[in-house]
Amino acid sequence: MAGAVAKLPSLVNSAIANAKPKFAIFLKYAKVELAPPKPSEISQIKAGIAKLLSSARTGAWKQQTVKQATLNTLVGAEVLFWFYVGECIGKRHIVGYNV
C-alpha cells in the first residue's frame, strides 16, 4: 500500500503531462465551435432555415442517403439532448420542477 501511495504523485504528473496537448486541441476547437454567431452569420442562419423548410415541404428529405439521414438524426438528437441539459441547469434539478 505504501508503494502505491508513493507512486501517486508521479502518476498524477504523467496524467497531467499527457492531458495538456489534448486539452489544448479541445480549447482550439471549443473557441470556434462554441462561440455565439456573429452578426454577419445571421443571414446564413436565415437561409439555412428557409432551405430546411422548403426541403420539408417539397419532400427533398426523401432523397437523402442513409448516411446523410443518420447524420441528420444524430445532430437532431444532440440538439434535443443539449436542450434537456439546459433545462436541468436552468431549473437546478434533475427531475421535475419545484411546485
- Say what the pTM is: 0.53
Residue with cell 417539397: 58
User: What does the pLDDT look like over 32-57, one tens digit per residue?
Assistant: 888 888 899 999 999 999 998 998 89
48/42 Cα distance (integer angstroms): 10
**What is the average per-residue pLDDT within 54-64?**
89
Burial of 48 (0-12, 13-18, 19+ CB in 10 A): exposed
User: What are the residue ranges spanned by the domains of the chain?
Assistant: 1-36, 61-99
More confident residue, 94 or 40: 40
